[in-house]
């Protein structure tokens, strides 16, 4: 589990969301900090999980750290 192929590269905003997500922030906190809606945060998180091939925020953070994304 955990794919980081070039064709699954995260966008700049997704990387920003991932970094904050890895710090344990909630969608509401992310939305406030990034000045976007909670729905937009949710979409970014879903895209991150799909691109990394993981099922949870915790897994996403672990894969990101292990592969050098963070």
**3: in domain:** no
- Nearest-CA neighbor of 21 among 3, 33, 8? 33
**2: in domain:** no
**1: in domain:** no
pLDDT (mean) for 66-70: 90
**4: in domain:** no
How many domains is the chain partitioned into structurally? 1
Residue 35 CA to residue 69 CA, distance in Å, equals: 23
Residue 36 CA to residue 8 CA, distance in Å, equals: 23
Which residues span the domain enclosing 57?
9-67
pLDDT (mean) for 24-48: 98
Write the CATH number for 49.
Answer: 1.10.10.10
**Is the pLDDT reported for residue 10 higher than 60?**
yes
**32: in domain:** yes
**24: in domain:** yes
**Is the pLDDT reported for residue 68 higher than 70?**
yes
């Amino acid at each position: 589990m955990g794919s980081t192929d070039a064709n699954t590269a995260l966008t700049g905003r997704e990387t920003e969301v991932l970094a904050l997500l890895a710090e344990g922030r909630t969608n509401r906190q992310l939305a406030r900090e990034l000045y976007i809606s909670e729905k937009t945060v949710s979409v970014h998180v879903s895209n991150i999980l799909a691109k990394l091939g993981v099922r949870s925020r915790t897994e996403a953070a672990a894969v990101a750290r292990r592969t050098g994304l963070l």
